[in-house]
Amino acid sequence: MSLKAYSRARAIHVMLVYTGGCNGCDIEIVNSILSPRFDAEQYKVFLTWNSRETDVLVVTGPVTHLNKDPLIKIYNAIPNPKLVVAAGSCALMGGVYKNIHGDIPSEEIEGPVENIIPVDAKIPGCSVRPQDVLSGVVSLLPKLLDAD
């Protein structure tokens, strides 16, 4: 294993961007990173809030109208190689807000994350379980290691 792959496998900086939705995924993810119960740091996954430090961008929520531009800006601010994880059913397909409606559909949803930025891994669930988040981020490792 080269030094590049070795170091990438041992320090993954994750940033969370929360683009609407119901707050559930967002708290579960921050919780899984933070709390001693799951403690993502033992798997060498670190939570950061600075886009310049990020390797993996975790996006939750169905990307509402006002959140589209910030998301693109943050994505562009991440240095290569970068990967995007869409977490939660809202991020995967717009969730209930886009797909279920009575007489009038919701107009504020800019669609799943895929429509806005390229997505590398998807974590289903409403809301996502912390275990799933960890395995989702870790499942990206081969892709991250092979990137130049």
Partner 1 sequence: MADITVLYSIIGAIITLIVCFIIGSFLPGIERKFVHARIQQRIGPPFTVPGIVAPIKFIFKKNLEPNSPAPGIYKSLPIISFLAILFILLFLTPQMYPVYLLSSIIAIVGLLKVEEICYVFMGALSKSVMSLSMKFPDLVKGAVHTDVIRSHIEDISSKRSLRMITYGSFPLYLALFVPVVCSKSLYIFDIVKYQQIHGPLLFTTAGILAAIAFFIGSLVVMNECPFNLIEAESDVIQGPYMEYSAGYRSIIYWTKGLLMFTLAALFTIFFLGFPLNIFSWNIILFIVVALIYTLLVGIFSAFTPIFINRQLYPIIISSTLLGVLAIIVGILV
Partner 2 sequence: MIEDKKPRKGQFIETEVPMGTVHPAALEPYRVRFFVEDEIIQEAEITIGVNHRGVERIMEGLPVEKANALTEKICGICSNIHTWNSVLVAEKGLNIDIPDRANYIRVIMGELERLHSHLLYLAHGCEVLGHETFSMRAFYIRETVMELLNMIGGNRVQYGVSLIGGVRPRCELNEMRIQKIEEGMDTLEKNLKNFSDRFIADPIVNSRIEGVGFLSLKQAKKLEVTGPCIRACGYEHDLRTEMKEYNDFDFDIITLDGCDVRSNLLVRALECFESIKIIRQAVKNLPNGPIVNRSWEMTDCDITKHYIEAPRGILYDSYALEDGRVRSSIIRTPSLTNIGATQYACIGNHITDGQLCIVQCDPCFTCTDRAFEIINL
The answer to whether 101 contacts partner 2 (rule: CB under 8 A) is: yes
The answer to whether 108 contacts partner 1 (rule: CB under 8 A) is: no
**Dist CA 56 CA 15 (whole Å):** 6
CB of 10 to partner 1, least distance (A): 5
CB of 78 to partner 1, least distance (A): 8
- State the DSSP code for 129: P
Number of residues interacting with partner 2: please give it, by CB under 8 A. Answer: 44
| Amino acid (1-letter code) at residue 43 | Y
The answer to whether 79 contacts partner 1 (rule: CB under 8 A) is: yes
Stretch that binds partner 1, among 5-13, 86-94, 95-103, 116-124 (CB under 8 A): 5-13
**Dist CA 130 CA 100 (whole Å):** 26
The answer to whether 51 contacts partner 1 (rule: CB under 8 A) is: yes
Q: For residue 21, how far is the Cα from the chain centroid?
A: 13
The answer to whether 112 contacts partner 2 (rule: CB under 8 A) is: no
CB of 74 to partner 1, least distance (A): 6
Interface residue with partner 2, options 1, 42, 104, 148 (CB under 8 A): 104
Question: Going along 36-128, which residue ranges are E strands?
Answer: 45-48, 56-60, 83-87, 121-123
CB of 84 to partner 2, least distance (A): 15
What are 22's two structure tokens?
Answer: 């119901």
Question: Going along 2-148, which residue ranges are E strands?
Answer: 12-18, 45-48, 56-60, 83-87, 121-123
